[in-house]
């Protein structure tokens, strides 16, 4: 009996160690093979062709991310949180939109900033801008949707950070939100070290064996991470194009009115999977009739306030700050979607 229990325990541990994205991809392919075998070859060909088309942008984004980690360029973010509050908000918005931090480092970094006494306004600006886009995502947005959309997303991230940052600065000067962190929150994991002891970047990192090794490790890790999400996204897009009529998409989020942008903003929160996976899906929806402003609202709202991100924020800050964060995310995403639709 003990042998059976041990085997079951090992099986459970193996299951937990499996990557859920790859498991999902395999499960979808197996389901297609059983339920609609005629669709399987088409989905595989579509996914392969789309991956090949974005391969140059994927390679460039991987190199950017690995370079940032190897040189220590991400430590430059510390300079955005010193000086006059207005300057701090401006710098934090720009650095947030351009920062190459990994997703696991954003929440601990925010905890580190707040616990070290950095004002909430620039932290909020960085918090709102950072999840929307980064250098790697910018290049993949160019490859999947287009340069105009990528630039619009970058400007939307900065605008969202500025709006949230200056609104928070006004509220704090009125005496609100003086203690944003929940009780017992520490000072921040892997992101906190960059704030406590920022170091100058080493641009010629290849002269340092440790940094060269980190570049190689980060490049492999980022390639696998982006590759699996893009593969899942393109696989889902192949099914979406096949089974969701273009007229259905056009009726829900097409046209030139305000309603499609509002729907995309509200749907973006629960439906958002991952910033990289969302890009091909939105590109496919735009090809089927989704208006560009609705696509922008979906990506911005989902990036800032997706369910995993919202849960992490809720665990980190007090309820008024969390409510303010959600309000900025939804109202700001709706606004940038409308603006993008007008100027597009």
What would the pLDDT profile of 218-246 be if each residue is shown by its tens digit? 889 878 887 888 888 788 878 877 887 65
Distance between CA atoms of residues 2 and 8, nearest Å: 10
Give the DSSP letter of residue 69: H
Beta bridge partners of 181: 317
Asked if residue 122 belongs to a domain, the reply is yes
Token output for 84: 């006059």
318 is in which domain, residue-wise?
Answer: 16-186+204-343
Distance between CA atoms of residues 299 and 269, nearest Å: 9
Task: Using the predicted structure, report yes or no on whether residue 103 has a pLDDT greater than 50.
Answer: no
Distance between CA atoms of residues 276 and 234, nearest Å: 11
CA 135 to chain centre: 11
- DSSP track, 130-174: TTT--HHHHHHHHHHT-HHHHHHHHHHHHHHHHHHHHHHHHHHHT
Neighbours of 53 (CB within 10 A): 14
Asked if residue 312 belongs to a domain, the reply is yes
- DSSP track, 6-22: HHHHHHHHHHHHS-HHH
Asked if residue 191 belongs to a domain, the reply is no
Give residues with Cβ within 8 angstroms of 85, minimum separation 6.
Answer: 119, 121, 122, 169
Instruction: Return the minimum-mean-pLDDT range out of 38-47, 156-165, 180-189, 313-322.
Output: 180-189
Task: Using the predicted structure, report yes or no on whether residue 135 has a pLDDT greater than 90.
Answer: no
Asked if residue 91 belongs to a domain, the reply is yes
Give the DSSP letter of residue 182: P
Mean pLDDT over the full length of the chain? 79
Distance between CA atoms of residues 112 and 244, nearest Å: 45
- DSSP track, 238-264: HHHHHHS-HHHHHHHH-SSSSHHHHHH
Assess contact for 295 and 287: CB atoms under 8 A: no
Domain count, the chain: 1
Please choose, from the candidates 335, 334, 314, 336, the residue with its C-alpha nearest in 3D space to the C-alpha of residue 325.
Answer: 314
Distance between CA atoms of residues 141 and 157, nearest Å: 14
Dihedrals φ, ψ of 204, to 5°? Answer: -90, 65
- Can you tell me the mean pLDDT for 82-110? 74
Beta bridge partners of 84: none
Please tell me which residue, 248 or 169, carries the higher pLDDT value. 169
Query: Residues 187-211: pLDDT tens digits?
Result: 444 444 555 555 677 888 888 898 8
Asked if residue 104 belongs to a domain, the reply is yes
Distance between CA atoms of residues 317 and 151, nearest Å: 31
pTM, rounded to two decimals = 0.69
Asked if residue 253 belongs to a domain, the reply is yes
Token output for 128: 């709102």
Q: HEC states along 137-149?
A: HHHHHHHHCCHHH
Return the C-alpha torsion angle 295, 296, 302, 303, nearest 10.
140
Asked if residue 6 belongs to a domain, the reply is no
Asked if residue 144 belongs to a domain, the reply is yes
């Amino acid at each position: 009996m003990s042998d059976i229990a041990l085997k079951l325990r090992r099986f459970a541990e193996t299951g937990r160690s499996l990557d859920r994205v790859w498991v999902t991809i395999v499960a979808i392919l197996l389901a297609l093979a059983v339920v609609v075998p005629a669709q399987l070859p088409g989905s595989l060909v579509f996914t392969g062709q789309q991956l090949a088309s974005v391969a140059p942008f994927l390679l460039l984004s991987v190199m950017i991310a690995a370079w940032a980690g190897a040189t220590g360029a991400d430590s430059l973010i510390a300079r955005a949180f010193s000086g006059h509050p207005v300057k701090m908000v401006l710098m934090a918005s720009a650095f947030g939109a351009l920062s190459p931090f990994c997703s696991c480092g954003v929440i601990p970094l925010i905890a580190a900033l707040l616990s070290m006494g950095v004002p909430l306004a620039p932290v909020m600006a960085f918090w709102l801008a950072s999840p929307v886009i980064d250098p790697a995502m910018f290049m993949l947005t160019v490859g999947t949707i287009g340069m105009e959309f990528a630039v619009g997303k970058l400007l939307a991230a900065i605008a969202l950070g500025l709006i949230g940052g200056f609104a928070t600065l006004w509220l704090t000067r009125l005496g609100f939100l003086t203690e944003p962190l929940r009780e017992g929150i520490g000072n921040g994991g892997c992101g906190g070290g960059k704030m406590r002891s920022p170091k100058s970047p080493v641009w010629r990192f290849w002269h340092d064996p440790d940094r060269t090794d980190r570049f190689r490790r980060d490049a492999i890790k980022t390639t696998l991470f982006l590759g699996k999400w893009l593969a899942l996204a393109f696989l889902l897009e192949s099914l979406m194009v096949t089974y969701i009529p273009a007229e259905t998409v056009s009726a829900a989020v097409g046209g030139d009115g305000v309603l499609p942008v509002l729907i995309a903003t509200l749907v973006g929160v629960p439906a958002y999977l991952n910033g990289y996976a969302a890009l091909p899906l939105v590109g496919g929806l735009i090809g089927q009739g989704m208006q560009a402003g609705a696509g922008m609202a979906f990506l911005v709202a989902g990036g800032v306030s997706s369910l995993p991100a919202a849960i992490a924020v809720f665990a980190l800050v007090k309820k008024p700050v969390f409510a303010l964060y959600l309000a900025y995310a939804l109202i700001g995403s709706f606004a940038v979607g409308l603006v993008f639709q007008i100027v597009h």
